[in-house]
Chains A and B, each alone.
Chain A
């Protein structure tokens, strides 16, 4: 029995080592994960308060409050947007440090109350501008993220593995013997998965939203459109990954390589506000970032189609680009 076991063990090891692509991804994915998590969760201890400062060069401002410790001073340029964030408790306070400093604080925010005391201890003469508004509950912020994450997994893994299975079983080869073109096949896969994802997302939304008292400030129809465009982009990405490969492990590796950065950097669990500039820039590559940005803007801020048009355009363009790349690189049969 041991001989048989060792023979199979040896053969499997040889197979694994000789599958260069899988081997590479097996090594790359955990390294990428560690690096990604160290970037996102690493760095110095996080400050207690987040204060927006109406200035592009906070370090050069001389206002005494800006020397306080344990406060994260975030430069802001859009005064109206920053005041809205104070109203939603996304910023604890907003300071305009110029002569005769003004500050905006939400009178209902506990953290705003404390950080205001700190400010007044540093500058008695700062002029108070009260802001009202209800805090955005974490669950309201998280819910679109969880729906988006579910869509991402369903689109990428569902489509990727199905196409791979078809290729390995020879079903794709049989289809190749018909007049069906790669673009037709891939489009059919996109539409099939899109229907499935949208039904599942609708069921999740309708089932969970009443339980957690989730209210959409904007148009539900627009939210639906964002979900459709987002799913299209993610499905097309999944098809592009599955377009050529024949190895389960390789496809799994590449899909993990796609999903984990999106999990960490697209803002499913937490806002990237305050993250390094390059991290926020990198996050803009991922379709999921645009799905969540647009969905939260509509659901929480009541944004209209013009405000989320850039995100929708990005999702539409990436869907088209991925589909074209997928059709171009598509392979019906195994090596």
Chain B
């Protein structure tokens, strides 16, 4: 990884009754994909919007290439907001042309169309695009100025699995061109696939930060057992195991699989629907906060 491109220092954003971001600090190196993870209301969007220069911080600062945010950072940034409406009655090509003309330099409209696989949609009214097609167009708009830093705020929320995977492929191709990407998401699969480093946020604070695998290694034993909650006897909850309730499941983490299985069998816990898998970032969030990420 190269030099720091974005530095976030003691960032705080307070509203009348709520502190949305509470003293957040981190550094993003050039060419990496940095993920901000957390449930709704964790402060991810507020943090990323301050980094984009769209929102002002109550205190703290964000520096771009060592300088305070300003015209340079704006010229170098591409942004995909969580919710964006485009001008009515324009086609895909016309919308791209509009945004391309707002920047002094960048990709040609044809290149953007090709980059985001919009060839067949270029003459379609933007109001008639599906969710996935709309996100591809918004990604193309974010790339109009060939940005050094690309901000993606929950880019796949609401997309069907197929559209989500298509979008991930696009982001991976952009990542391959060494652009810096800042991504907020509450999809752990997305973060694991795309991010080089993640910061997990809850209630405006970063509660864990590092590479996805590093974080899992630090916080978890090797395996995770899942059992249906309704099949789990109440008496077995007192067993000397690391148990968590996760929706309709009971999760058990352990580094002694044989011993744990013996304990469960001795307690007459039905193991017919037992599932054993390696832990993921969702489990990490549950471990750190005691609650589910998408609760």
Contact = CB atoms under 8 A, between A and B. Distances in A.
Interface of A: 166, 169-171, 173-180, 333
A-B pairs with lowest CB-CB distance, top 8:
A169-B85, A178-B102, A177-B79, A174-B84, A170-B85, A171-B85, A180-B102, A170-B84
16 contacts: A166-B87, A171-B86, A174-B79, A174-B85, A176-B54, A177-B54, A177-B74, A177-B77, A177-B81, A178-B99, A178-B102, A178-B103, A179-B74, A179-B103, A179-B104, A333-B54
Contacts of B83: 170
Given A174-B79, A174-B81, A180-B102, 7 more contacts: A170-B81, A171-B84, A173-B54, A173-B81, A177-B74, A177-B81, A179-B74
B71 interface: yes
A178 B77 CA distance: 8
B101 to A, nearest CB: 10
A179 B77 CA distance: 10
Given A170-B81, A173-B54, A173-B81, A178 B86 contact: no
Interface size bracket, B side: 10 to 19
Interface string B85-111: 111000000000001001110000000
Contacts of B86: 171, 174
Contacts of B77: 177
A173 B74 CA distance: 14
Contact of B87 (A171, A173, A176, A179): A171
Contacts of A169: 85
A180 to B, nearest CB: 5
A8 B105 CA distance: 50
A180 B100 CA distance: 12
B196 interface: no
A171 B103 CA distance: 17
B75 interface: yes
A177 B71 contact: no
A178 B85 contact: no
A179 B102 contact: yes
Contacts of A174: 79, 81, 84-86, 141
A179 B81 CA distance: 16
B52 interface: yes
Contact of A173 (B84, B104, B141, B145): B84
A65 to B, nearest CB: 66
A313 to B, nearest CB: 34
Nearest to B78: A177
A170 B81 CA distance: 9
A169 B84 CA distance: 7
A18 to B, nearest CB: 15
Contacts of B81: 170, 173-174, 177
B85 A179 contact: no
B2 to A, nearest CB: 25
B71 A179 contact: yes
B105 to A, nearest CB: 11
Contacts of B54: 173, 176-177, 333
Nearest to A332: B54
B50 to A, nearest CB: 13
Contacts of A166: 87
A174 B81 CA distance: 8
B55 to A, nearest CB: 9
Interface string B120-141: 0000000000000000000001
A171 B138 CA distance: 12
A180 B79 CA distance: 14
Contacts of A173: 54, 81, 84
Given A170-B81, A171-B84, A171-B85, A177 B75 contact: no
B85 A177 contact: no
Most chain B beta carbons < 10 A, residue from A175, A179, A333: A179
A171 B88 CA distance: 10
A174 B96 CA distance: 13
B8 to A, nearest CB: 18
Contacts of A177: 52, 54, 74, 77, 79, 81
A76 B79 CA distance: 66
Contacts of A170: 81, 83-85
A121 B104 CA distance: 82
Contacts of B102: 175, 178-180
Interface in B1-41: none
B72 to A, nearest CB: 10
Contact of A178 (B74, B84, B87): B74
Contacts of B84: 170-171, 173-174
Nearest to A184: B102
Contacts of A178: 74, 99, 102-103, 145
A204 to B, nearest CB: 24
B52 A179 contact: no
Contacts of B52: 177
B150 to A, nearest CB: 12
A185 to B, nearest CB: 10
B277 to A, nearest CB: 39
Nearest to B145: A178
B86 to A, nearest CB: 6
